[in-house]
Amino acid sequence: MVLMHLMHNAGYEIAVAHCNFQLRASESDDDELFVQDQAKKIAVPFYKQRFNTAEYAENNGLSVQMAARELRYDWFEEVRILAGCEIIAIAHHNDDTIETVLLNIVRGTGIRGLAGMKPRTHRIIRPLLFANRNEIEQYALLNEIPCRNDSSNDSLKYKRNKIRHKVIPLLCELNPDFSATFSENIAHFRDAAQIYLSVVEAKRKELISMRNGKIYISVPALQTLEPAATFLYEFIHEYGFTWAQVNAILASLNSVSGKRFISKTHLLVKDRQELIIYRRNNKIQRYYIEEHTRNIKEPLSITFKQEQMANDFKIPQNPDIACIDRDKISFPLILRQWIKGDGFIPLGMTNSKKLSDFFIDEKMSLADKQDTWILADGEKIIWVVGRRLDDRYKITPSTKNLLIVTLNNHM
């Protein structure tokens, strides 16, 4: 309420977004009505959303507080776009950042966790970090700003509230000026983090490259870093990997290729001389190619051209181009990811070969295997895209009509 008051009085064009997490029965509904009424009084747009937070937390293996955090920030961004706003202003204050740092220490943290909340993170700003809770409450009282108290702030079942109501009062007994002292410490931590992260970023540019949407980390270069575990954690934690996995990954560097590590969103594969990271995709996607299709952009950029066979036609020596006997296929064709058990007759051979064995012969990394697409006629493979045509669909002296399929921008 204080943040809304300050921004409105400062002349900003604002919209108000309120989340009802439905965790406090009628109290949650009363909060919603209260905020809606306050927004109406100052004539600003009001957006509201109700979430089944408890169900979302259970379905996603999250604490209620983390579930509420995910839900509100995702929705805030939707509202920002809908309302035509530039930024999202959050009312976090100095006491919040102290509690956050203490919580991070208890849970286990790197230097980022000691740096506290940033005044700005992308499109999110926190204009009240300069003030503590008591100062904000006094401002509300002096300026007759109506407020409501969230009763869950008093419940000791939440870790943050235990820090707030139990730990910080004890620390204030040891140092009556604890809040100011710890805020200074956080400022020092933040400066140290900036220096630390600049070194990490420099090493990131040396060791890491991106090709075809995958992240590649040089194993020999990684092994020269000290401390390797800290650098590796900084390189991969944004993809959901944990400290425990970092140690296991480092232990695997001198083992055989193919060792895999899984996060909620990504897969990391230990290949010969590289660690390869790419987004997980647990669904087999299928795309149907009709006879009239001339090009597609997703999931790959591919063009399709039909023409009559000419006497002087020469087959391009390019694995990204497949020249197919048009009369041997039936539309619609299917573009899909390969699955276990797939087999085909590689061009130039007479016997069927499992794709898994073909991949071994081609010395393909696990990441490349996972990213392989198949052009098929029903259940029969026509082309392992960008790799090899099936011998049954090649053009011959008796071919009359061609289908030329070209994979574009293949790196």
Say if residue 389's pLDDT is above 90.
Answer: yes
- Give pLDDT, residue 366: 66
* Nearest alpha carbon to residue 405 among 287, 326, 336, 312: 326
* Nearest alpha carbon to residue 384 among 371, 395, 402: 371
Tokens of 97: 């950042």
Beta bridge partners of 253: none
pLDDT digits (tens, 9 = 90+) for 301-360: 899 999 999 988 999 989 999 999 999 999 899 999 888 889 999 999 999 999 989 998
**Sheet of 88-89, strand order:** 88-89, 124-125, 120-121
pLDDT digits (tens, 9 = 90+) for 177-198: 999 999 999 999 999 999 999 9
- Give pLDDT, residue 368: 74
Say if residue 226's pLDDT is above 90.
Answer: yes
Question: 2-181 and 286-407: same fold?
Answer: no
pTM higher than 0.75: no
- Give pLDDT, residue 58: 85
The 3 state secondary structure assigned to the chain is CHHHHHHHHCCCCCCEEEEECCCCCHHHHHHHHHHHHHHHHCCCCEEEEECCHHHHHHHHCCCHHHHHHHHHHHHHHHHHHHHCCCCEECCCCHHHHHHHHHHHHHHCCCHHHHCCCCCEECCEECCCCCCCHHHHHHHHHHCCCCCCCCHHHHCCCCHHHHHHHHHHHHHHHHCCCHHHHHHHHHHHHHHHHHHHHHHHHHHHHHHEEEECCEEEEEHHHHHCCCCHHHHHHHHHHHHCCCHHHHHHHHHCCCCCCCEEEECCCEEEEECCCEEEEEECCCCCCEEEECCCCCEECCCCCEEEEEEECCCCCCCCCCCCEEEEEHHHCCCCEEEEECCCCCEECECCCCCCEEHHHHHHHCCCCHHHHHCCEEEEECCEEEEECCCEEEHHHCCCCCCCEEEEEEECCCC
Spatial CB neighbours of 360, under 8 Å, sequence gap ≥ 6 = none
- Give pLDDT, residue 65: 86
Q: CA 270 to CA 263: how far, in whole Å?
A: 14
- The mean pLDDT value for 18-43 works out to 94
- The mean pLDDT value for 163-188 works out to 95
Q: What is the homologous superfamily of the domain 286-407 according to CATH?
A: Phenylalanyl-trna Synthetase, Chain B, domain 3 (3.50.40.10)
pLDDT, mean over the chain: 90
pLDDT digits (tens, 9 = 90+) for 66-79: 899 999 999 999 99
pLDDT digits (tens, 9 = 90+) for 63-122: 888 899 999 999 999 999 999 999 999 999 999 999 999 999 998 787 888 998 999 988
Q: CA 364 to CA 3: how far, in whole Å?
A: 56
Q: CA 73 to CA 75: how far, in whole Å?
A: 5
Say if residue 411's pLDDT is above 50.
Answer: no
Fold of 2-181: Rossmann fold (3.40.50)
Beta bridge partners of 324: 403
Q: CA 28 to CA 102: how far, in whole Å?
A: 28
Helix 178-207, helix 228-236: angle, nearest 10: 90
- The mean pLDDT value for 251-264 works out to 83
Say if residue 282's pLDDT is above 60.
Answer: no
Contact of 161 with 153, CB cutoff 8 Å: yes
Domain boundary assignment for the chain: 2-181, 212-279, 286-407
Say if residue 285's pLDDT is above 80.
Answer: no
CA distances from 236 to 139, 192, 222, 226, 308 (A): 43, 21, 12, 16, 51
CA neighbours within 13 Å on the CB side: how many for 401?
A: 6
Say if residue 271's pLDDT is above 60.
Answer: yes
Q: CA 288 to CA 22: how far, in whole Å?
A: 44
- The mean pLDDT value for 202-217 works out to 90
CA 382 to chain centre: 34
CA distances from 2 to 5, 8, 41, 97, 127 (A): 5, 10, 15, 18, 11
